A and B are shown apart, each in its own frame.
Chain A
Amino acid sequence: MSIVLENITKQWPGTLALDGVSIEIVEGRVHGIVGENGAGKTTLVSILSGAVQPTAGTLSMAGQPVAFENPAAAVANGVSLVSQEGSLVPHLTGAENICLGFEPVKSRFFINRREVQRQAEELAKQWFPETAIALNRKVDELPYADQKVIEILRALHSRPKVLILDEPTATLPAKEKQSLWTLIRQLSDAGMAVVLISHFLQEVVDLCDEITVLQDGRKVSHLSNAGHEVTERQLIDLMLNRGQTGNQHRLFDSALTERSLADDAEIVVDIKGWQGARFLMDGLEVRSGEIVGLIGLTGSGHFEFAQSLFEPRLATAGEYRFKSKDVGRASVRDMKRRGAALIPDHRMINAMIGDWTVRENMSMAGIQETSLKPFGVVQNGRERAETHRLIKRLNIKTSSAETKIVELSGGNKQKVSVAKWQFASEGKYKLFVFLEPTEGVDVGAKREIHDLIVSLAERGAAVIVASSDLLEIAHVADRVVAFRNGRDADQIARRDFSEAVFINAIAGVTQ
């Protein structure tokens, strides 16, 4: 049975997660859905599995319109989800987890334990004949790979017609990946419709009969892959390319004038062999007045690396000198004192206090500067004056300084997040690290944020920008470091910037 999504739109407060996406999921085929973080994959899966209701658009199965009010309704209609992580009850056995919610009973009340075990074993034998899993053991005693198998068996217990696998191989070792791939093929051969969400593009290309590419909540492409003609490189192009035309090799719009950098500009960041759990940077020097862009696919380590420049404790080895002084494993507080600032991604989680006003959020990092020492008596007048100065200077659109931060648009929230490091601290910070600086920011405000980033560099700060928006990087950066598989892989000078060069560097194709 096929399931058709038509013009599905999901509006969250402040963000449009899905914008008129239409997808057809057909029985007996594997349908891959790819896109960068924030492209809308998770929202799409949530709608398909009944966890989230679309703002607009329709779902239909076998030509009949359906609405999944909750996950149980989706399961009842034959749609099962194997979610990304941890949907098992750790203290129940594998068999109990598989039958959870559908336990066979005896005497209308008591769980028939023997029958639970039998059903679970039968399912396991049917779909994973070569894997021996102790279904009678508590799942938290089992290895990840076995837990994944149990999660899949649980989804299969309700005999679904559509199976959604959200990043199923993310936590699996190589051998288990193989057996999962075999299973996916078996399922589709048996006539099931399979939806595969994955960051591993090679597996998408190998397994899927058709592939939908999402970008910023929109469907940018639907490819048929019946003869495995789609390449990984082609997918990366589609996921990242924000150009208006198909010309892959044109230069970016922005005039690529190179900013001149004084020869004697101070080296602010000096990195050697700097590594953490998920990144390794061989060497990087960033000078005062310079903007370095970091690019890579999701999970390639550039965000973790950028974050570690402000939180050196995230690193486990290597050398990091900040303004010629060894940083060691300094705390955030210490890095701030030395002159480093972070404008993090997911700003409402990492940068803002939702209950607070624009003024309170803006002064959070610098209020001691406008307060009376030694007891830190807040001087309301000075705090207000400084807030008003920054609201005006950064052109922040808010009805007043006392407006709650949640009432501002994404772009204006982001400006407050930047203003935080200028509050009575003009010129104090010598390094600004930006993570996804225009996440959830509309087009007009994007430009202003970019100008803001450039102006910070022009006033002598070293700036590092990690972003999945390549146009943004091309716009602001003086040079780019591309990450692949957790390592810095390529350096690109501004005169060589083009979408093709960026995408090649990210995908690991040399020209």
Chain B
Amino acid sequence: MTMTTTLAQEKASRPMRIGTLVQKYSTLAVLVVLFLAFSIGTDRFFTGTNLVNILQQISMLTIVAVGLTFGFAAKEMDLSVGYVVGLAGLLAPLLMVAGVPIPLSIVGALGAGLAVGLINSALVVGVGVPSLIATLAAGSILWGINFMISGGRAIYGGIPPEYLAVGQGKVAGILPYPALIMLVVVAASWFLMERTTFGRYLYAVGGNARAAELSGIKVRSYRVYGLALSSLFAAISGIILSARLGSGQPNGGETYLLDGLAAVFIGMTMLRPGTATVMGTFFGALLIGIMNNGLNLVGMDTYVQSIVKGIIIVIAVSVVSRTTKLKLL
């Protein structure tokens, strides 16, 4: 019986392994194909300026998406990130316009983001509301708050130029600060998730909460960390956004939720299929960035871009769902 069982299992697992291989690299292949196609299709794509430009364009999205990845790792979904981007992007300019020094304004905006994350996790971990619902409601509340504190108008005038440099300046005249911040955030997050016990425990909680608990892991705490980091990263993104735009926008950042989720889903098809990873998410954001940038350069309308993006998400999630149990709730 033992022999037959083992043989049967081997037989079953072999084609799946090939499938996994195809899956692991198919997203990367799409990325390469897109890259080559745009390079050949338009001479404005493969230039140093444009490649740096892409990094700059995806920086805020990537930071939001990496934040979502922490939540996903613990099997929590955060639908409030878009509005947290907006909140932080409004708060920092508002504080500065009111005369608060730059560092304090930034800390205030980040603190507000973190506070949202903690309220979300109090609802999810403390009360037991599913994260999907708790953060959806939080998003709705934040949307209202954003319009309330801004009076529905953009906040500008009186923002110090040093602050604007965060979004508009460049290192050595080449690498924009947002791109630099993104690279630092990605590298630090990768290290945290892949090289520390923190990351291991966070994944354990998402992988099997009961097994994690019976192994002595603080399951509730890690669920809080996942949601808190998700909001904190969205706030970082919001600060860059307002510095880049030179103003605080009441409805800034709303698009980052969907694009961020898309980046995470695309990332889940790579590396460790079915699991959200930092590098996977980064590639996901890169794919979206290259696609948006390239389609723009070849003169495709934004609504077509939206359709293409939707199709890519469906394909990515279909690929993941076919081979792994993709459970989000």
Taking Cβ atoms with an 8 Å cutoff, the residues of A that contact B are 11, 13-14, 16, 310, 332-333, 336-337, 342, 344, 349-356, 360, 363-365, 367-368, 371, 375-378, 407, 409, 420, 442, 444
Contact = CB atoms under 8 A, between A and B. Distances in A.
A409 B5 contact: yes
19 contacts: A16-B1, A310-B214, A336-B215, A336-B216, A342-B214, A349-B208, A350-B211, A351-B214, A353-B204, A353-B208, A354-B207, A355-B272, A356-B207, A364-B215, A367-B197, A378-B196, A378-B200, A407-B9, A409-B5
Interface of B: 1-2, 5-6, 8-9, 12-13, 195-198, 200, 204, 207-208, 210-218, 272, 274-275, 324
Shortest 5 CB-CB contacts between residues of A and residues of B: A376-B197, A353-B207, A336-B216, A365-B215, A353-B208
A419 to B, nearest CB: 12
B238 to A, nearest CB: 27
A360 B200 contact: yes
Contact of A13 (B12, B196, B200, B275): B12
B1 A409 contact: no
Nearest to A369: B197
A377 B214 contact: no
B211 A353 contact: yes
A364 B204 contact: yes
Contacts of B200: 360, 363-364, 367, 378
A310 B210 CA distance: 14
B69 to A, nearest CB: 16
A353 B203 CA distance: 10
B196 A371 contact: yes
Nearest to B195: A378
Nearest to A365: B215
Q: Classify the secondary structure of B's interface with A.
A: helix
A420 B215 contact: yes
B216 A333 contact: yes
Nearest to A13: B9
Contacts of A444: 2
Contacts of A336: 215-216
Nearest to A337: B216
Contacts of B8: 11, 13
Contacts of B204: 353, 364
B311 to A, nearest CB: 28
Contacts, number: 79
Contact of A407 (B13, B195, B211, B216): B13
Given A354-B208, A375-B196, 15 more contacts: A13-B8, A16-B1, A332-B214, A349-B210, A350-B214, A351-B214, A352-B211, A353-B208, A355-B274, A355-B275, A364-B211, A364-B215, A364-B217, A368-B197, A378-B196
Nearest to A361: B211
B110 to A, nearest CB: 21
A371 B198 CA distance: 11
A367 B212 CA distance: 13
B216 A371 contact: no
A176 B68 CA distance: 52
A415 to B, nearest CB: 15
Contacts of B196: 371, 375-378
Contacts of B6: 409
Contacts of B275: 355
A378 B197 contact: yes
Contacts of A367: 197, 200
A332 B8 CA distance: 38
Contacts of B2: 409, 442, 444
Contacts of A442: 1-2
B197 A333 contact: no
A442 B2 CA distance: 7
A363 B272 CA distance: 19
B247 to A, nearest CB: 38
Contact of B211 (A14, A310, A351, A376): A351
A365 B272 CA distance: 22
Nearest to A383: B200
A28 B214 CA distance: 49
Contact of B195 (A333, A355, A377): A377
Nearest to B196: A376
Nearest to B3: A442
Contacts of B12: 13
A364 B197 contact: no
Nearest to B10: A407
A83 to B, nearest CB: 24
Contacts of A407: 9, 13
A365 B207 contact: no
Contact of A14 (B5, B207, B212, B218): B5
Tell which of B9, B12, B207, B208 has the most Cβ of chain A within 10 Å. B208
A418 to B, nearest CB: 13
A305 to B, nearest CB: 17
A364 B9 contact: no
A332 B9 contact: no
A469 B179 CA distance: 62
B28 to A, nearest CB: 21
A352 to B, nearest CB: 6
Contacts of A344: 214
A375 B275 CA distance: 24
Contacts of B215: 336, 351, 364-365, 420
B212 A364 contact: yes
B54 to A, nearest CB: 32
Contacts of B217: 333, 364
B216 A332 contact: yes
A13 B1 CA distance: 12
A350 B210 contact: yes
B216 A365 contact: yes
A342 B213 CA distance: 11
Contacts of B197: 367-368, 371, 376, 378
Nearest to B207: A353
Contacts of A14: 5, 9
B99 to A, nearest CB: 38
A64 B168 CA distance: 80
A355 B207 contact: yes
Nearest to A356: B207
Contacts of A332: 213-214, 216
Contacts of A350: 210-211, 214
B256 to A, nearest CB: 28
A91 B200 CA distance: 42
Contacts of B218: 333
Nearest to B275: A355
A376 B207 contact: no
A372 to B, nearest CB: 9
Q: Please indicate which of the listed interface residues A310, A353, A365 has the most CB atoms of chain B within 10 Å of its own CB.
A: A353
Contacts of B210: 349-350
A353 B213 CA distance: 12
A411 B169 CA distance: 60
A364 B218 CA distance: 12
Contacts of B195: 377-378
Nearest to B211: A351
A409 B6 CA distance: 7
